[in-house]
Amino acid sequence: MFGEDDLVRQHKSRADVIGNILILCFVIILARLWYLQIYQGELFYKFSLENRLRKEVIKAPRGMIFSRNSQMLIHNIPRFDAVIIPQYLKNKNVTLKRLSKVLEMSEEDIKGILKKNRGQARYRAVTIKKNITLKEVSVIETENSKMPGVRVQTFISREYRDGNVGAHLLGYISEINQRQLPKYRKRDSYDYKLGDFIGQAGIEEKFDLDLRGDDGYEFVEVDARGRMRRNLRSSVLFAGIENKEATPGNNIRLTIDRDMQLSAFKALEKKVGSAVAVDINTGEILAMVSRPAFDPTKFSRGLTKEYWDSLITNELNPLRDRTIQEHYPPGSTFKAITAIAALEEGIVKPDQELKCGPTFRLGRRVFHDWKRGGHGPTDVYKSLRRSVDVYFYQIATQLDIDKLAEYARMFGLGEKTGIPLSRETSGLIPTKEWKLKRSGEEWQLGETVSCVIGQSYVLTTPLQLAMAYAAIANGGILYRPHLIKEIFTNNGEIIKKFEPEVVSKATVDEKNLQAIRKGLYQVANHPRGTAFWYKGFGLQMAGKTGTAQVRSMTSKELFSKCEEMPYKDRNHGLFVGYAPFDNPQVAVAAVVEHGCHGSSAAVPVVRDVLTTYMKKYDAETFAKNEKKEKEEYYSFIRKRTAARKKAQEEAEAKKEADESSEEDAEE
Amino acid sequence: MNRSAIVDFFKKYDFTFFGISIAIFIMGVFNLYSATHASSSSAMADLFKVQSGWFALSLVIGFGISFINPKTFFRYSYLFYIVNVILLVLVLVLGHKGMGAQRWILLGPIRLQPSEITKIAVILVLGRWYSKSYPDRELGFKELIIPAIIVMIPTILIVMEPDLGTGLLVMLIFLVVSFYRRLKWKMIGILAVMALVSGGVMYKFGLKEYQRKRIITFLNPGADARGSGYNAIQSKIAIGSGQFAGKGFLKSSQASLNYLPENHTDFVFSIFNEEHGFIGSLILISLYMILFFRYIWLAQSVPRMFDSVVAIGIMSLFFWHTFVNMGMVMGLMPIVGLPLPLMSYGGSSLVTFGICTGVATSISNARNLF
């Protein structure tokens, strides 16, 4: 056996080998250093001092967005920024003075901007003025040698063809901010940098990854003043470096119809509100506008502080998308749902008449009808046509609120529709459990009485109303709002295609739906219908008006003139309609905030959008119906005038007769 | 102990390991100052002070350890190893995330990085196994099974964190130590083939995206979209521009212009070369070589097999760190993020090297003290 000492000695040969390997590595490192520092040292030295190798990012053009008919809604155009690269800035005072003259801004401002960006790497460009004019570009380029460190950066600006129209839907892009940076890096596992533009709202936000594309880069050699010298493609020294071309982002085709979008926006002019149009048979969104709006182009061009301030200090909140981010009491538009529930649950039959006086008493509480005199005997058609509150109050006593909620949910109310846009609100359909959870109190029957006419806790978004009425029109099929038709590359190759998606089918008897649809038809086409006077001609429209109270009112206020109340207290006007009645194509919901009446404020909006649709897609039917409706209308007017005249004559005749009989008596 | 005994002790005390380490550290801390002094953030500019504090701490720890009898290391090596494996599991279960990987656990104010400890634990446990299991035989396949299992357990845990660099390093230490313990040449050939094959498989299936990117970057610096290839090129410019004599202290343009990211950790050697040139590097690398050969000398002059294997293990730890880091900044190897011993900024690596130096000194002293 060996002693421990001998054991160690046994390994001497291996220790020697290790020593030799060490020497070999030593030689390799020194050889490499020799190669870099002595053999190529001068070249590298030159590069490190006078010349800078710079990696220039080539921004990928962002994808474009088209309407359903391939009309361009968003496109890209080049613009220019004046920037300073601090590393190359020389004769600071002289240069800045010169630059301030060119850009017509004060030296202090420029210094302030530089100071603010002192923390970042000195070779990074600091933007001094965004979106400079072509004249400024040419001055900077020609006087380049006198202003070392100042450069013009080309940029692609994103322009929104129709400006404010559909701004909420399309969204906008702006620079990623400090707060978003870590969050988005994690979310997309993509190395965002400050200065990168990302979609911040609407489709721009939701489909950012599809639209963005992939930035490229090229290596360029620049001199000490930051000017580009030559492309490094052929350089021997940097063999192995390859430039990468930018891959443009993918384009999106929407389901939106540009003409309908424009007409909806125009119809809402000088109003605060929104409108949504949806294809009844596919769930495709045809128009979706909200007013007041903003100009998304101003965001992608570099937002000015003034414009941003004007947006966020505006009480009407132009940045809010009122079609999905705002919810309102649906008012009488909700009566269609209540009526469906009442028929389905067998509380009333379609032809069954209820006695409807001016008020309804529940215990000590008195509920008023909107019409002071009451409506008299009312069946379900009249209840919709005349929007008879007392009819629904009576139903409320027999209709469990949870049952009503069940029907409301069947038509998609109180739940997010799942439209691919951010910050959608779900609205609210109250239940007993919800109330208990919220306030710890039991549900009151009086609350049901308010809920059946779409007041109290009930809240819906305009989009939900449009989807619900589309389902009423198509026999109960609730679609998912369908906004994106397809995503395709610059070469026209389709990457993703989206198909209509059915959320659920309402379990409702078709006969009952027919009765409701008949009532909705009368709303617009019966001379006593609430929408009759604003319906236009040629649509064969069905629908329901609604007037939503903003706050609870005393009975005196209830009957005072809405237009005379303070703006904030005025009722919202709503209308949800679809057309044509016998072959439903499109449903439109419109909400006009503080518009006082559904009929006068909201019906014209829906009418205009539907008219645009019919004229564009089914002009023949439209012309035929227009003729028919006009004939009906004028014959009705003639009859009414004749009847009035006759009544007047009769009254006069009677008066005369009375007078003569009086005379007789006197005699 | 009386006065003459203390003097006697310090006459026999081996100061070479600490001495060379301190010399390298001094060059390192000046270099660190140069790399960070131009930084706009004061936290960065003060890093050299923090580094000095860590070094002082690691000296105290290392010096303390140098007074422990090497037999104690031998006795507790298995226990130390088991505790380390438990800590590695804990990191995976409740570790704190940093840079996409979880590498440390918090013990009160101390941020413990168990993968650092693994390096030492594996060296000690291999020393014990190789000195007790038929130390007179050559290592064949059979003899390699158990040590391989011992090494693989912590390695797999480390790679799962994921910390590929440290995992690879532990394997490399295992390789050197086994080679020293007379691994059969035939086995070396087989292992080389296995490494090539498993490397290919790992690359295809076992690597995370960023790890794969680093390797691609190394093979083709232009292929990376977001700039690691750019770093490799800037690093080469920094080194090359130093030429023979360097630009001089604090004159590095690549560092002060923030061309190099991580210039206080991974890329310190580039800055050093830019400022001190070929001649400066020759001196620095020579210091490292003297240190390494002192370890090899130590391995052959100790009476016990355990001490000998541990000395080689520590040498290989230092060596791989140095060689991989230098190779990476010079464009000879992919960027794996191993610090340069005693030069790169980083508290935990300084403490690790301090402990190793203490162990080596203890082994050296044991030749004539214990």
Domain boundaries, chain A: 4-39, 54-254, 258-292+321-486+501-617, 627-667
Q: State the pLDDT at residue B225.
A: 35
Considering only residues B41 and A586, tell me which one the structure prediction assigns the higher pLDDT. A586
Task: Give the architecture (CATH level 2) of A258-292+321-486+501-617.
Answer: 3-Layer(aba) Sandwich (3.40)
Q: Which of B256, B259, B262 best tests the A interface by mutation, with the highest count of A CBs <10 A?
A: B259
Q: Which residues pair with A220 in a beta bridge?
A: A54, A231
| pLDDT (mean) for A228-233 | 51
Count of beta carbons in the 10 Å neighbourhood of residue A527: 14
**Is A192 in CB contact (< 8 Å) with chain B?**
no
Note the pLDDT tens digit of each residue in A328-374. 999 999 999 999 999 999 999 999 999 998 999 988 888 988 888 88
A14 touches B: beta carbon within 8 Å: yes
Closest CA–CA distance from residue A592 to any residue of chain B (Å): 50
DSSP A59: P
How large is the average pLDDT for residues A422-431? 93
Work out the end-to-end distance of chain A between its first and last CA atoms, rounded to an integer number of angstroms: 164
The count of other CB atoms within 10 Å of the CB of residue A185 is: 14
Instruction: Decide if A572 contacts A514 (C-beta within 8 A).
Output: no
CA-based nearest residue to B34, from B346, B270, B231? B270
Distances (CA, A) of A298 to A61, A173, B240: 18, 10, 48
Interface contact flag, B332 A22, Cβ < 8 Å: no
Distance separating alpha carbons of residues B104 and B97, to the nearest angstrom: 8
Q: Choose among B236, B242, B299: nearest Cβ to A15.
A: B299
Give the predicted TM-score (pTM) of the model: 0.62
Say yes or no for a CB contact (<8 Å) between B244 and A5: no
Burial class (CB in 10 A: 0-12, 13-18, 19+), A93: exposed
Surface of A (599-618) touching B: CB under 8 A: none
Span A210-233, mean pLDDT?
A: 66
- Cβ–Cβ below 8 Å for A17 and B179: yes
* Whether pLDDT at A224 is above 60: no
B254 close to A (CB below 8 A)? yes
**Are the beta carbons of A55 and A219 closer than 8 angstroms?**
yes
Looking at residues A159-187, what average pLDDT do you find? 87
B319 at interface of A, judged by CB pairs closer than 8 A = yes
Interface mutation target, options B40, B237, B323, chain A, most CBs of A under 10 Å: B237
Residue A298 has pLDDT above 60, yes or no: yes
C-alpha R_g of chain A = 36
Kindly list the distances between the CA atom of residue A508 and the CA atoms of A407, A431, A487, B130, in Å, as whole numbers in the listed order. 9, 21, 36, 82
Q: Quote the CA–CA distance of B188 and B180 in Å, as a whole number.
A: 12
* Cα separation, A8 vs B367, whole angstroms: 13
Main-chain dihedrals φ then ψ at residue A493, nearest 5 degrees: -80, 125
pLDDT at A229: 54
Domain A54-254 belongs in CATH node 3.90.1310.10:
yes
Q: How many domains are contained in chain B?
A: 1
ipTM of the complex model: 0.89
Taking contacts as CB-CB distances below 8 angstroms, the residues of chain A near B308 are 8, 11
Q: Given CB atoms, is A175 within the 8 Å cutoff of chain B? A: no
Reported confidence tier of residue A233, pLDDT bands at 50, 70, 90: very low
Tens-binned pLDDT, residue by residue, of chain B (370 aa): 567 777 877 788 899 999 999 999 999 999 998 888 766 566 677 888 989 999 999 999 999 999 999 999 999 999 999 999 999 998 888 765 544 456 677 666 667 788 889 999 999 999 999 998 888 888 888 888 999 999 999 999 988 877 778 888 999 999 999 999 988 889 889 888 888 888 788 777 766 666 666 666 555 544 443 445 667 777 888 888 888 988 888 877 665 445 555 667 788 899 899 999 999 999 999 999 999 999 999 999 998 999 999 999 999 999 999 999 999 888 888 777 788 999 998 888 899 999 999 999 999 998 875 5
Amino acid at the residue A64: M
Residue B329: closest CA among B18, B98, B35: B35
Percent of chain A with pLDDT over 90: 55
If you count DSSP H runs as helices and E runs as strands, how many of each does chain B have, helices first? 15, 3
User: DSSP alpha helices (H): ranges in A422-461?
Assistant: 432-439, 445-451
Q: Does A190 touch chain B (CB under 8 A)?
A: no
A594 to A311, A393, A531, B359: CA distances (angstroms): 21, 25, 18, 83
Decide: B51 and B350 in contact? Cβ < 8 Å.
yes
Residue A460 has which token pair? 């819906």
Which of residues A243 and B53 earns the better pLDDT score? Answer: B53
Please report the pLDDT score of residue A567 as a whole number: 86
Residues 99-158 of B with CB under 8 A from A: 135-136
Tens digit of each residue's pLDDT (9 = 90 or more) over A35-91: 999 998 888 887 776 556 666 677 888 999 999 999 999 988 887 888 888 877 878
How many residues are there in chain B?
A: 370
Q: Is the peptide bond before A566 cis (omega within 30 degrees of 0)?
A: no
Q: If DSSP codes are grouped into helix, strand and coil, which group holds residue A122?
A: coil
Instruction: Supply the DSSP string of B197-213, one letter for each residue.
Output: HHHHHIIIII--HHHHH
Full domain range(s) for residue B39? 16-366
B1 occurs within a structural domain: no
Give the end-to-end CA distance of chain B in Å, rounded to a whole number. 15
